[in-house]
Copies of this chain bind each other. A is one copy, B any other.
Amino acid sequence: MSATWDQIVERLRELSDLASAIKLLHWDQATMMPSAGGAARARAQATLQATAHGRFVDPEMGALIDGLSEESLSQEQEANLRLLRRDYDKAVRVPQELVRELAEVSGRAYQAWTEARPAADFSLLQPHMARLVELKKQEAEALGYANEPYDALLDQYEPGMTTAEVEAMFQGLLRGLKPLVADVLANVPDPPDWLGYRYDPDRQMAFCHWLVSQLNFDVTQGRLDISPHPFTIHIGPGDVRQTTRPDQHNLMMPLYAAVHETGHALYEQGLPAEWADFPIGGPPSLGMHESQSRLWENQVARSRPFTDFLLPRLKERFPEEIGMVSPEEFYRGVNHPQRTLIRVTADELTYNLHVGFRFELELALFRDELSVADLPAAWDDKMSEHLGLCPDSIADGVLQDMHWSIGSFGYFPTYTLGTIYSAVLFAQATAQLPGLEAELRSGVTLRLLEWLRENVHGLGYRHDAKDLIERISGGPVTPEPLLDYLRAKYTALYPSA
C-alpha cells in the first residue's frame, strides 16, 4: 500500500466516523430524543454535515485522488478510486453558495410543508418549493447530464440509470399494470373485519421482535425500535438499526413494515465489512436497497407459504382477535388490494401507480412543462387518471409526501425500480433454489438470504444496480418479471368474473 493510499484511507475513515455520528443524531431524533431537544439537534446535524462536506471537498482530497490515479492499484482499489473520483467531482462541481442555498431553502420548505399539510394549504409551501425547483435545476446544470436535467437528479439516487431508460421502464410497467389493477379491483370484496380489530401495541412489538429474528436479522449487531416513520439505518459496523410503528387499529402495517425494514437491514448487515469505510462497501443505489425491502416484504412475507407459517405464530399472540381466521382468509387479508389516496398505505398491486404519476409530475417539472403553481391541479388529474380517485383535501393530495419539500426530486422512481429489481431477483432465486417454497412454509429463509448475500449483499458497490441485476438475470432489466408475478398472484386471488 502506498503512502497516498494510506492517506486516502485515513480520510475515508474520518468521513465514515463523521457520517456515523450524523446517522446516530438522526436515529436518536426519530426514536429517543425528547421533543424539546429538536432545535438544538437540527443545529448539531447541520454543523456536522457542514464539517463532513468541508472535509470531503477539501482540495487535498482532490490532490490525493489525482495522485492515486498514477499508481498501480489492485482491482478493488481501482473500483474505490473510480467511485471516489466520481463523488468528489460531483461534490466540487456544485458551487458552495448553491450548496448553502439548497440547504437553507429545503430547510424552510420542509418547515413550510409541516405547516401546510395540517392546514391543507399549498400556498404556504409553494414559494419555497418554486425556489427549490429553480435551485435543483441550477444544481443539475452544475452537475452536468447527458440528455436532460432530470438525468443529473436521478443519478444522485440511481447512478448508471438514465431518465429515458426509467421512463421506458415505467411506461412498460404501467401499460401492463393498469388493466390488471382494473380487472382485479372489479372483483375485490370489502376487506375482512379482523384487519381492523384492536391489537395490543406491546404484543405487536413483541411479535415484530420475534419476526425480525426469525428472518435472521442479527440482533446482536442491531436493534429494532419504534418511530413514527419506519426506517433502517447503518450506524456503523456491527450496528444496524431498524424501526417499526405499532398501531392498535392495524395489525398488518407494523408487522409488514418490520419485514420491509428487515429487508433493508439484512442488506446492510450483509455488505462487505472489510470495505465498510469505502465506496465499494456501500449499496450501489436506492433502488437496489429498495429491492431488498420489497423482496422480503412482498415476495417472501406476503406469499402463501410464508403466511401459512406466520398465522399460527400470530394466533398465539392474538388468539381472541384472529383465532378463527383460516390460512386462506389470512392470505387474502394480507394481500387485500384497494384504491387508496395515500402512497404509504397502498398495497403491493396499486403501489407503483402512485409512484408512476409522481415520476411523471417530476419529469414535467424539470422539463419545464409544469409550474409549481399548477402542481396541485396536475396532481389531482394524475390521481384520477391512475387510481380513479380524487382527494377531498390537498393534505391527502400533493401535500401527502415530504420528499419534494426537502428537494428529493429523482427519489420516487427508485421505489418502483426497486420493486422491479425485486421481482427479477426473486424469480432468479426461485429458479436457482429448488425447494424454496417448502422452506418458506417452515419459516426457513436462510438459504434465500445466503443467495442474496452471495449475489447482492456481499458485492457492495462493485457494479451499478442495473448492471448487477443484468449480470444476475442474464438479460436487460424489464418490468416483465414484476408484471408476471403480480398477474399470477392476483388473478389467482381474484379471478375475473
Chain A interface residues (CB < 8 Å from chain B): 13-14, 17-18, 20-22, 24-25, 28, 32-41, 43-44, 46-48, 51, 218-223, 235-239, 276
7 examples of A-B residue contacts, CB within 8 angstroms: A34-B223, A37-B236, A39-B237, A40-B236, A40-B238, A40-B239, A51-B51
CA gap between A308 and B13 in the complex, in Å: 56
Q: Is the CB of B37 within 8 A of A237?
A: yes
Contacts A39-B238, A236-B40, A238-B40 hold; do A25 and B34 have CB atoms under 8 A apart? no
CA gap between A238 and B39 in the complex, in Å: 9
Q: Is the CB of A44 within 8 A of B21?
A: yes
CA gap between A209 and B310 in the complex, in Å: 36
Q: Is the CB of B24 within 8 A of A40?
A: no
CA gap between A480 and B300 in the complex, in Å: 72
Of A22, A40, A48, most buried by chain B (CB within 10 Å of CB) is A40
In addition to A21-B44, A24-B25, A34-B223, 4 A-B residue pairs with Cβ atoms within 8 Å of each other are: A21-B21, A21-B24, A39-B238, A40-B276
A38 contacts across to B, CB distance below 8 A: 238
Q: CB < 8 Å: which of B21, B34, B39, B239 contacts A33?
A: B239
A33 contacts across to B, CB distance below 8 A: 235, 239
Q: Is the CB of A21 within 8 A of B17?
A: no
Copies per assembly? 2
Of A39, A239, A276, most buried by chain B (CB within 10 Å of CB) is A239
Give chain B nearest CB distance to A55 CB in angstroms.
9
Give chain B nearest CB distance to A36 CB in angstroms.
3
Give chain B nearest CB distance to A25 CB in angstroms.
6
Q: Is the CB of A47 within 8 A of B13?
A: yes
A40 contacts across to B, CB distance below 8 A: 20, 235-239, 276
CA gap between A418 and B164 in the complex, in Å: 70
A276 contacts across to B, CB distance below 8 A: 40
Q: Is the CB of B221 within 8 A of A17?
A: no
Contacts A34-B219, A222-B34 hold; do A47 and B238 have CB atoms under 8 A apart? no
Of A13, A28, A35, A236, most buried by chain B (CB within 10 Å of CB) is A236
Q: Is the CB of A239 within 8 A of B21?
A: no
Q: Is the CB of A239 within 8 A of B17?
A: no
Q: Is the CB of B13 within 8 A of A236?
A: no
A25 contacts across to B, CB distance below 8 A: 21, 24
CA gap between A223 and B37 in the complex, in Å: 11
Residue in chain B with minimal CB distance to A19: B44
Give chain B nearest CB distance to A209 CB in angstroms.
14
CA gap between A51 and B20 in the complex, in Å: 14
A239 contacts across to B, CB distance below 8 A: 33-34, 36-37, 40-41
CA gap between A220 and B237 in the complex, in Å: 32
Q: Is the CB of B35 within 8 A of A236?
A: no
CA gap between A24 and B33 in the complex, in Å: 10
Q: CB < 8 Å: which of B13, B14, B47, B219 contacts A14?
A: B47
A41 contacts across to B, CB distance below 8 A: 20, 236, 239
CA gap between A25 and B27 in the complex, in Å: 11
A236 contacts across to B, CB distance below 8 A: 37, 40-41, 44
Of A24, A28, A51, most buried by chain B (CB within 10 Å of CB) is A24
